[in-house]
Amino acid sequence: MLWGGRFEDKPDKTALEFSSSLRDDILLIKEEILCGKAYAEMLCGIGIITSIELKTITEALSSVETEYHNNQWNPDPKVFEDIHSAIESRLYELIGDTAGKLRAGRSRNDQVVTSLRMWCKKSSMEIINLISILQRTFINTAEQHLETIIPGYTHLQHAQPVSLAHHLLAYIEMIERDKERFSGIIKESDSMPLGSGALAGSTLPIDVYFLKEKLGFSLLCNNSMDAVSDRDFVIDYLNACSIGMMHLSRLCEELVIWSTAEWKFIRIGDSFTTGSSLMPQKKNPDIAELIRGKTSRVFSNYQSVIALMKGLPLSYNRDMQEEKHSLFSSYSIYTDSLKLMKLMFETIKFDNSYLLTLMKKSTILATDAADWLVSKGIPFREAHDIVGELVKYCLKKEIGFEELTPEELKRMNPVFDESVCEVFKLDNSLSRKKTEGSPNPVFVKEQITKWKSALFLKTSQV
């Protein structure tokens, strides 16, 4: 027990188990060991421990980490409050009273938040790399579908034709912003709290600059009270996970819709779908549905921590240990979802022949027709009305724009001539786009080239 000196009675076993965070913060063991070794080296440097004691502590910390990873040491949450007390107890078993010297000038308060910041930096880098890998998967598919025409939707209604490549590039842009958020979290987590003690620093000459360099931090925290009680970086991390999962969930929603018998656009590989216990014909997109479903848990984790922090006075409060469960849960769900999305997406087969038939029978080129009228000098508001009448006519006759004859068009409005028939050809629709960022294959190819340069040259596959 790290704090039992002034107490006459031992903690109630039920209360100790209730208060233990060991099941969650055991995931910080690598960071805890690194902090412990760096701190021991610093204590030796300022004369608190000898070089022999430094060697003894460092070797013992290495042994604890090895024992844990080899499943030879599994601390019990019914016995230990957290990973800090568990490691110290094991150190006492290995090296006796020398273990107690490691606590000089250090509190659990600054210790845990230092490890937590290190973990957030490390895991953010991992997430950025996973997102880059998923982006490369999208790029590979987009490159094969520069001119694969699919309906673009607003309100889930046919709007205008786009290419599958353009559609996928939208997700690449979307999740690039997720990478930027995690890059921000790395920066936000890059100030070191160690040396702040419980809340007011230490009277010992703790060499915080040595610790900063040794543990890979760029800056020191400026205020010891804020240092031990700040969890903004955790909240921002959870927010980034939430937005990232929201983006994956949006794509999953589309994959679910696209795989239906009505859409007939994609076939997801058997290894990422399931059948029905009753209906033999079923092929269910369960992985896409589960990613979409687990998004709600990540949202809940964010809400849990921001609600946890809203009423806490300065500085540290024990409530804060509850943030780790939410943090590690969101990390696990998000990283698993990124990996599974990449694997699942690689099994998808696209077939837009059915969609192409639908579009050729549709009025999806109505905006193009209105633009053509504008090019003839007709105000857009009037052009909108003219094409609206044309749409009404096609719906009644159950035909698409492409099936209209020049004679029919002339009867509808004398401004139409044979040249408008070219506008109604779906195959030409993408190449007519003039604006940057549109699905014109020329612009899309430029974007793919840009992304390939950024993603394939600057990141490494894992």
Helix (H, G, I), strand (E, B) or coil at 14: helix
| Residues 195, 231: Cα–Cα separation, whole Å | 17
For 460, list phi and psi in degrees, rounded to 5: -115, 140
Q: Note the Cα 168 to chain centre separation in Å.
A: 17
Residues β-bridged to residue 151: 161
Query: At 151, phi and psi to the nearest 5?
Result: -70, 135
CB 115 within 8 A of CB 26: no
**Residue with tokens 């070797």, as numbered in its chain:** 59
Residues with active-site annotation: 155, 276
Bridge partners of residue 267, in order along the sequence: 349
SS3 261: coil
Query: Beta strands 266-267 and 219-220: pairing type?
Result: unpaired
Report residue 39 CA to chain centroid gap: 33
Amino acid (one-letter) located at 30: K
Neighbours of 419 (CB within 10 A): 10
Per the listing, tokens 């209105």 go with 370
- H helices within 353-412, ranges in order? 353-360, 366-375, 380-397, 406-412
How far is Cα 347 from Cα 352, in angstroms, rounded to an integer? 16
Sign of CA dihedral 148, 153, 157, 158: negative
Helix (H) or strand (E) run with residue 152 in it: strand 149-154
- H helical segments located in 48-189: 51-69, 83-95, 108-144, 164-188
Query: Could you tell me if 237 and 185 are in contact, meaning their C-beta atoms sit under 8 angstroms apart?
Result: yes
b/e per residue 435-446 (b: at least 16 CB within 10 A): eeebbbbebbee
